[in-house]
A and B are shown apart, each in its own frame.
Chain A
């Protein structure tokens, strides 16, 4: 029998990476928040790889941090290895990647949540949403507790009708043998949501003491680790010595074992109905599709400091357990390995994300938001990025404030959400830097410049941090102005320094900006040629150097962004009847009516909507506005 268990502003269901960010954001914005999850030991759990960041994903972590989220701070406190990737490439794609102590990561996040004002953490299995007059009003748990709230954020990860598959074995389960959430899925379907079945997988874990590391290559962390959070310092971040990862390879024997057992692979026997992602296929999939590749990389990654478990990256599989063991033992260095956990594939229900507004509120049930894997994404960072946006908007709605949408020129989070709600996805969606059309503007180094103002405005960035941010901005502007005015004369010292740098001598005096644009010249050389009066912080120098060096490319992209903004600023009224618009092609009408884009910009990104349709829509909107204006 049900009982009234409490009233809240915001309820977040699920305490994974999306749920944690949602709940923390809502609570920090002043909302009474309940975070309810099936198992309190699984808060911020990493069911797959023990790492955070990398290209695009690392950018998202920085963006979450700039908005006032937790993921960046949390990984900085719990990493066991930190590496900046892509340093040989342009600054836009430099990408920070951490190996996490996954147990410490969980405990640290759980503690942060427990200590957060306005936030209550509760174990419970939500089975039903309370929906009255079409609006979401709360949740009901398996134990009969009825929690009421003004907004609800659903972050169910892979738990919705989760099903684990290992070879012939198949059973209902969430990740890592957790209880799946069955009834909530039925409830969503009853409410009219369109659900899809997706699939993902994870490799086996092995015992460190059974690995012959001498047959592998060491992969150490950076000597001087960088941090994700703009708040982290050497004092607040993890300080222990970093742990390495190890690189090894599959052998022809591995491939033979897989080929011999393909008939037992659920991927090919038709047992798996869910759509898996192309970007992280299982090892059996890789061997079938790329059969001429003689060997595949395998990275061995520690799962934490106080555990002997190693993650076998590159060997994601749903083969039967006995085959998995033979596969493992065919890999160099793993000849005598002990398997501790078996790899598996997991199928789960996800919501078709075109059913969401860009705020992540569902169109079908007002006050209900969804974030993370339930929206068809994959990855901790993608989940967390949606989580903070859903949390912010759930809180803003409670407070009667305007919602927050990050656009494609402001962040990868904007690219991610816009892609999901505008185009949908037919496989688990992973962020890639190539998905961002303004990649050069969405850099790892400038996430604070892009998003701190938003974080501050919504109250997630504190005054003190904001002031530091403003000071940094000013320092960048001052230094850019100084370099533009300072003249460098072609005297002997200068010419010699230029010769050493391998660049042409000066004919006349030039300003420092012009000189810095030369490919061979770096800011550190300007430091010698025209030193600033006061010391300049390293992150300011970095910004100045990037902004000057790549100004040509940056300006090109800024021009494109201006165009985007103009299209985004043309709002489409929600009550528009596309079927009544004369001239729009019928396929486009259907798509527009389904997605209900908020702006002409968003409309133009819907597949099947042509430039001619957009032209007609613009004409119609102008007419519409005239009619509305004349009525009022």
Chain B
């Protein structure tokens, strides 16, 4: 049972404090090393030590977060296995990213109560504590079940069910070729399998795209409002908040701290970072404002930089604009009701026209244009609010990625002219991963499909 390495967010706290991701199992150090860059590899560190370093996306090389990492080697850890704890800077985004990277690097998402279960199985805690774990496993799995049921009614599970049906039909066809070689059914060719596999990959890709959008729709676009004081940041905030009353996030499992404020612009939810900071610093000196802004920029999916179009840009503002080139930034030229004083020539040399929006908070102008610009940026112009199929659960996203990965391997195998029974291995894995999303039991249904789809007999 205890053979793989598990990971989960062990604490869930709001922005500004530290979130800890715990990894436990025989490969904890190796898996953490795949995403961690520090002075030395974690695998070379002695037990009970703490290290400073960075979490990097091994594919893109991009830095996700600066972290402190604790190494606790077996058996001197809570689970009595090798344990690595990564303390992230907080803010949901880098923590989630880090966990996703760990899952991609070979860890499995821990089940509810699994760390404690391991602690018990390895003799770390006594039965009384373990019984509490049992209740936890039971209640959480029941809850997971009810969530799964709820999802089963949704259109996501409907789409996955259809995709699985296509795959099982393909599999049944392959199996009949194998188990009834003399039977007069259509011969399974690699080309046929390839076509079917490609279209399944398409479907998953589509779902993963909605995952991005679904995440946005559920969690909001993480948005930083930056700019020097007195350009209208808090007016912008108030303007946005008018459209929908600011609400407090209620992310399951977290303490219900006020983390970020939600607003919507043209139906697109934005999660505004450091709104308290904006309100507080409205009258404080320029230097602090810009510094704070830099911190928020790192965490944001969208940066709204506000400048006063009535005045020339300061050196700091110019530097910030240059720094934000290539990032998802919109430049809001506020106070457009006043005579223009901003250096438009310089701006047009440094930023695309479509990223500049003239606004007047005072006259309530420009919000619609802002909404359109955001929609264009994140949804290629279209917001499919009518379509509720969003993959938002990171477990589902992870399973979809795995399902897609297996299909890619199947596809590659067809291109290398592997025999159909080998290709089937990867198709089956993909089908099973999709099954884990909707909670369908694996097994007899392939046989059911074979016998209902084909006329076999002696």
A residues adjacent to B (C-beta < 8 A)? 48-49, 54-56, 85-86, 88-93, 95, 203, 278-283, 285-286, 289-290, 293, 296-297, 299, 313-314, 316, 432-435, 439-440, 519, 550, 553, 556-557, 562-563, 566-567, 570, 582-583, 600, 607, 610-612, 615-616, 618-619, 622-623, 626
How far does the Cβ of B162 sit from chain A's closest Cβ, in whole Å? Answer: 22
Does A615 lie within 8 Å of B457, measured CB to CB?
no
Tell yes or no: B354 within 8 A of A by CB: no
How far does the Cβ of B191 sit from chain A's closest Cβ, in whole Å? Answer: 15
Across the interface, B141 reaches (CB within 8 A) one of A91, A95, A440, A612, namely A612
Closest to A296 in B: B455
**A49 CA to B180 CA, complexed, in Å:** 15
**A90 CA to B422 CA, complexed, in Å:** 7
Interface string of B134-160 (1 = CB under 8 A from A): 110110010000000000000000000
Contacts of A316 in B (CB 8 A): 457-458
How far does the Cβ of B318 sit from chain A's closest Cβ, in whole Å? Answer: 51
**A519 CA to B419 CA, complexed, in Å:** 10
Contacts of A48 in B (CB 8 A): 458
Chain B CB within 10 Å — which of A55, A56, A90, A567 has the most? Answer: A90
**A610 CA to B137 CA, complexed, in Å:** 12
Across the interface, A56 reaches (CB within 8 A) one of B134, B179, B418, namely B179
How far does the Cβ of A503 sit from chain B's closest Cβ, in whole Å? Answer: 11
- List 20 interface pairs A-B (beta carbons < 8 Å), by A numbering: A48-B458, A55-B180, A86-B181, A89-B181, A89-B419, A95-B181, A279-B451, A281-B455, A289-B455, A296-B455, A432-B450, A434-B175, A434-B450, A439-B425, A562-B3, A583-B135, A612-B137, A615-B137, A619-B120, A623-B127
Does B1 lie within 8 Å of A583, measured CB to CB?
no
Contacts of B456 in A (CB 8 A): 279-281
A279-B451, A433-B179, A622-B120 as given contacts; A89 in contact with B421, CB under 8 Å: yes
Does B1 lie within 8 Å of A434, measured CB to CB?
no
Across the interface, A433 reaches (CB within 8 A) one of B178, B184, B425, namely B178
Does A290 lie within 8 Å of B455, measured CB to CB?
yes
**A316 CA to B120 CA, complexed, in Å:** 58
A85-B181, A86-B181 as given contacts; A519 in contact with B458, CB under 8 Å: no
A279-B457, A439-B421 as given contacts; A615 in contact with B117, CB under 8 Å: yes
Tell yes or no: B182 within 8 A of A by CB: yes
Does A618 lie within 8 Å of B121, measured CB to CB?
yes
Does B111 lie within 8 Å of A615, measured CB to CB?
yes
Chain A CB within 10 Å — which of B131, B450, B455 has the most? Answer: B455
Does A607 lie within 8 Å of B441, measured CB to CB?
yes
How far does the Cβ of B189 sit from chain A's closest Cβ, in whole Å? Answer: 10
A90-B422, A553-B425 as given contacts; A583 in contact with B181, CB under 8 Å: no
Interface string of B406-436 (1 = CB under 8 A from A): 0000000000111111100100000000000
Tell yes or no: B183 within 8 A of A by CB: yes
How far does the Cβ of A205 sit from chain B's closest Cβ, in whole Å? Answer: 14
How far does the Cβ of B258 sit from chain A's closest Cβ, in whole Å? Answer: 35
B residues adjacent to A (C-beta < 8 A)? 1, 3, 111, 117, 120-121, 127, 130-131, 133-135, 137-138, 141, 175, 177-184, 416-422, 425, 441, 443, 446-447, 450-451, 455-458
Does A582 lie within 8 Å of B441, measured CB to CB?
no
Contacts of B175 in A (CB 8 A): 432-434
**A583 CA to B139 CA, complexed, in Å:** 10
Contacts of A290 in B (CB 8 A): 455
Does A619 lie within 8 Å of B420, measured CB to CB?
no
Does B458 lie within 8 Å of A49, measured CB to CB?
yes
Does A583 lie within 8 Å of B134, measured CB to CB?
yes
Contacts A434-B446, A439-B421, A566-B1 supplied; 17 other A-B pairs, CB < 8 Å = A86-B181, A89-B181, A89-B419, A89-B420, A92-B421, A95-B181, A278-B451, A280-B457, A289-B455, A434-B179, A519-B416, A566-B3, A583-B137, A583-B138, A611-B111, A611-B141, A623-B127
**A626 CA to B124 CA, complexed, in Å:** 13
A433-B179, A434-B178, A615-B117 as given contacts; A553 in contact with B422, CB under 8 Å: yes
How far does the Cβ of B82 sit from chain A's closest Cβ, in whole Å? Answer: 18
Contacts of B446 in A (CB 8 A): 434
Does A90 lie within 8 Å of B1, measured CB to CB?
no
How far does the Cβ of B30 sit from chain A's closest Cβ, in whole Å? Answer: 16
**A354 CA to B183 CA, complexed, in Å:** 33
How far does the Cβ of A608 sit from chain B's closest Cβ, in whole Å? Answer: 9
Across the interface, B457 reaches (CB within 8 A) one of A56, A92, A314, A562, namely A314
Does B137 lie within 8 Å of A616, measured CB to CB?
yes
**A281 CA to B184 CA, complexed, in Å:** 16
A434-B447, A440-B425, A612-B138 as given contacts; A619 in contact with B457, CB under 8 Å: no
Does B133 lie within 8 Å of A619, measured CB to CB?
yes
A90-B421, A519-B416 as given contacts; A567 in contact with B127, CB under 8 Å: no
Contacts of A95 in B (CB 8 A): 181
**A283 CA to B457 CA, complexed, in Å:** 8
How far does the Cβ of B350 sit from chain A's closest Cβ, in whole Å? Answer: 47
Contacts of B418 in A (CB 8 A): 90, 519
**A95 CA to B441 CA, complexed, in Å:** 30
Does A286 lie within 8 Å of B134, measured CB to CB?
no
A296-B455, A433-B178 as given contacts; A619 in contact with B134, CB under 8 Å: yes
